[in-house]
Amino acid sequence: MGTSARRYYGAVEAGGTKFVCAVGDETGRLLVEDRFATSDPVPTIATMIATLHRLAGGFGPLTAIGLGSFGPLELRREAPCYGHILETPKPGWSGTDIAGALAREFRVPIGFDTDVNGAALAEHRWGSSQNIEDLVYLTIGTGIGGGAIVGGRLVHGLMHPEVGHLYPRKHPRDADFAGVCPFHGDCLEGLASGPAIIARCGRSFEALPPEHLQWEIEADYLAQLCASLVLTLSPRRIVLGGGVMNQTRLMPMIRARLQHWLGGYLRREELLGEIDAFVVPPRLGAHAGILGALALALHAL
Amino acid sequence: MGTSARRYYGAVEAGGTKFVCAVGDETGRLLVEDRFATSDPVPTIATMIATLHRLAGGFGPLTAIGLGSFGPLELRREAPCYGHILETPKPGWSGTDIAGALAREFRVPIGFDTDVNGAALAEHRWGSSQNIEDLVYLTIGTGIGGGAIVGGRLVHGLMHPEVGHLYPRKHPRDADFAGVCPFHGDCLEGLASGPAIIARCGRSFEALPPEHLQWEIEADYLAQLCASLVLTLSPRRIVLGGGVMNQTRLMPMIRARLQHWLGGYLRREELLGEIDAFVVPPRLGAHAGILGALALALHAL
């Protein structure tokens, strides 16, 4: 094989609602992509493998595969359950060996991490946060998740960040809502995810008019999440993605409420006059997730 | 100078209540130490410099000096205010160029960081968390602060962790207490620091009997802080120090309430059966702060 031979990488974004599979290259270009709805683990994993084979068929063997998954995940390579999805609110999926299934089938290096750690890596490599060594990527959709890069490296410790399960203070107009998280009730995911909006308002966020009170409550909760991140991970940028953020009224309200919750304590221009560059949308937009998986494939080598 | 020549390092722990100055060596041994009460910045800094000169006099020139200070601090070397204390609740101290004062006087490398980042480094190097690359050190005293190491490195991003200003949910038996933080009222520092205990109970924590309800409230707030850290920085160990932790009833109550707040979501043995090794006291005890400053001096070279 000459040095000019092109290499192809597989990418899988494993979400609670849908799976996206793709083949891409090391420049962050997606050459082909397909998606399907998430069902039970066995048929979903079979479809994932068949889809990757089909997509790769047009190009050649895959050099590596990146898998960004909903979590929580076992990411410690020395652990017996490395590659598994752990106890998860997603019914039926706890204990699924998702990375192992790919490794056994394709026998190439598998880059495995949370979907949001992958998306953080993609925004860092190709998107909104190039040259920013400390950032958090949040997705607000079926669930609420956050990936984090500190000092240029993905955060892995005992586990990985699970910021969707922080508890915000209840909004005064939301005192009676118990939340929908099966583990915590009214944690952030329980109060501000897509399913939480349906439970509170009786309809999906896509159907809510921009002037609905829901958006003020939503912005307040997401701003509390951003404030907690500023005070712990100390990012230089927070990237807010996911379907719920398609409501464009949210972004400026979140920035204003973040300043409210910080209470003038951290007098950094980045958090004051320059806050529009501190809390930003993903530059990779809806592709942050699948490009995250591609970035994980490159990271695996 | 021969290779066997001994090197001496200065160390300053700049606290809101007292300053500790010391001279030590690269093995983490403190050779001499002195302390004095914190007053206004000008006389305090003059005493700090005079004390260091006096202590060093018995040994020889200092190779470097480490300064661990209460915060928030400007730690970005490229910033015009590098080395300054920023806007702080401590009256009179906002804007003090504390590291610059040392650098101008001694003309040696100055290792400068938060007192708690220093203590985290000392526990990592010589104490409870050797070989643990992801840890948080918390101090619960005049204020509440946390230092963090992620992937073996101190966390610095836009600033540094400021976890004492996270908002916990109010304890049901504490609903009427407004808190004492001048910026946030009832953030963690406002609800669970030494001054908060005095404001709520009318006496210092040293004077409270172990069976006092205060300790249950205190443990609940500190457990919420630990849960927030697990979900963001993902440490493999949390070290709890500071004067308030001298009440030995607290530690087991905090561990139990941490499990309560995590709600069984993260099913890691470290957070379940092995939690006694996850939330621990500092092995360096009351010396964690000044040894942190010594570790910062070594870190500066």
pLDDT digits (tens, 9 = 90+) for A19-73: 999 999 999 999 999 999 999 999 999 999 999 999 999 898 999 999 999 989 9
Tell whether A236 lies on the interface with B, counting CB pairs under 8 A.
Answer: yes
Residue A297: partners with Cβ closer than 8 Å, 6 or more residues away = A9, A10, A11, A24, A63, A64, A65, A66, A109, A111
List pLDDT tens digits, range B174-204. Answer: 999 999 999 999 999 999 999 999 999 999 9
Per residue in B189-247, pLDDT tens? 999 999 999 999 999 999 999 999 999 999 999 999 999 999 999 999 999 999 999 99
Please list, in sequence order, all residues whose beta carbon lies within 8 angstroms of the beta carbon of residue A55, skipping any fewer than 6 positions away. A10, A21, A22, A23, A32, A33, A34
Q: B28 with B126: CB under 8 angstroms? A: yes
Residues of A within 8 A of B231 (CB-CB) are: 161-163, 165-166
Q: In chain B, pLDDT over 70 holds for what percent of residues? A: 99
ipTM value: 0.94
Exposure class string for A256-269: b at 16+ Cβ within 10 A, else e:
ebbbebbbebbebe
Quick check: A151 and B155 CB within 8 A? yes
Closest CA of chain A from B8, distance in Å = 30
Bridge pairing between strands A153-154 and A237-241:
unpaired
User: Which residues of chain A does B261 touch, with a Cβ-Cβ cutoff of 8 Å?
Assistant: 167
Distances (CA, A) of B220 to A39, B227, B261: 39, 10, 9
pLDDT value of position B2: 44
- Tokens linked to A142: 């079926």
Stretch (H or E) spanning A114: strand A110-114
- The reply to whether residue A267 touches residue B236, judged by beta carbons under 8 angstroms, is no
Which residue's structure tokens are 């891409």?
A24
For residue B71, what pLDDT is reported?
Answer: 86
Backbone angles phi, psi at A128, to 5 degrees: -75, -15
Distance from CA of B43 to the nearest CA of A (A): 26
pLDDT confidence of A147, banded at 50, 70, 90? very high
Q: CA-to-CA distance for B39 and B50, rounded, in angstroms?
A: 15
Cα–Cα distance between A42 and A96 in angstroms, integer? 9
Among A163, A167, A224, the residue with its CB nearest the CB of B232 is: A163
pLDDT digits (tens, 9 = 90+) for B100-116: 999 999 999 999 999 99
Q: Is the pLDDT of residue B283 over 90?
A: yes
Determine which of A174-188, A281-295, B2-16 has the lowest per-residue pLDDT on average: B2-16
Q: What are the tens digits of pLDDT across the range A73-119?
A: 999 988 999 999 998 888 999 999 999 999 999 999 999 999 999 99
Residues in chain A with CB shorter than 8 Å from the CB of B272 are: none
Q: What are the tokens at B139?
A: 């101090």
pLDDT at B123 (0 to 100): 97
CA atoms within 13 A on the CB side of A45: 18
Say if B87 is an interface residue toward chain A (CB within 8 Å).
Answer: yes
Higher-pLDDT residue of A72, B171: B171
Q: What is the pLDDT of residues A245-301, one digit of tens each?
A: 999 999 999 999 999 999 989 889 999 999 999 999 999 998 999 999 999 999 998
Which residues of A are less than 8 Å from B150 in CB distance? 150-151, 153, 155, 157
At residue B150, what are phi and psi to the nearest 5 degrees?
-125, 125
Which pLDDT does position A2 carry in this prediction?
44
C-alpha A242/C-alpha B268 separation (Å) is 28
Pick among B167, B237, B275, B278 to test the A interface (most A CBs inside 10 A): B167
Task: Examine residue A72 and say whether the peptide bond preceding it is cis (omega within 30 degrees of 0).
Answer: yes
Enumerate long-range contacts of B49-52, CB under 8 Å, 24 or more apart: B49/B101, B49/B102, B49/B105, B51/B19, B51/B21, B52/B10, B52/B12, B52/B21, B52/B23, B52/B102, B52/B106
> Are the CB atoms for A34 and A118 separated by under 8 Å?
no
Residue with tokens 């530059």: A283
Type of residue found at A188? L
Of A86, A232, A236, the CB nearest to B229: A232
Q: What is the mean pLDDT of residues B9-20?
A: 95
pLDDT-derived band of residue B48, with 50, 70 and 90 as boundaries? very high
CA of B234: which chain A residue's CA is closest? A157
Q: Which of B184, B224, B232 to mutate to test the interface with A (most CBs of A within 10 A)?
A: B232
Q: Least CB-CB distance to A158: which of B228, B235, B265?
A: B235
The predicted-structure confidence for B256-280, as pLDDT tens digits, reads as follows 999 999 998 988 999 999 999 999 9
- The answer to whether residue B4 scores a pLDDT higher than 70 is no
* Pairwise CA distance, residues A204 & A143, whole Å: 14
Query: For residue A153, what is the enclosing H or E element?
Result: strand A153-154
Query: What SS3 class is residue B145?
Result: strand
**Phi, psi at residue A74, to the nearest 5°?**
-90, 110
pLDDT of residue B1: 45
List chain B residues with CB under 8 Å of A71. none
The answer to whether the Cβ–Cβ distance between A159 and B234 falls below 8 Å is yes
> A57 is written with which tokens?
């068929």
On whether the CB atoms of residues A236 and B157 are closer than 8 A, the answer is: yes
How distant is the alpha carbon of residue A170 from its chain centre? Answer: 24
Average pLDDT over residues B35-63: 97
- Residue keyed to tokens 């993903």: A282
pLDDT at A5 over 80: no
Across the interface, of A159, A166, A267, the residue whose CB is closest to B228 is A166
Whether B234 contacts chain A with CB within 8 A: yes
How far apart are the C-alpha atoms of B239 and B283, rounded to whole Å? 9
For residues A148 and A161, the answer to whether their CB atoms sit within 8 Å is: yes
Cis peptide before A252 (omega within 30 of 0): no
Instruction: Give dist(CA B51, CA B11) in Å, integer.
Output: 11
**Of A45, A144, A43, which is closest to residue A97 (Cα–Cα)?**
A45
Chain A residues with CB under 8 Å of B159 CB are 234, 266, 268
Question: Which residue in the set B169, B232, B265 is minimally distant from A87, CB to CB?
Answer: B265
CB contact B233 to A (< 8 Å): yes
Q: Does residue B88 register a pLDDT over 90?
A: no
Q: Which of A73, A75, A150, A169 to mutate to test the interface with B (most CBs of B within 10 A)?
A: A150
Residue A132 contacts B where some CB pair is shorter than 8 Å: no
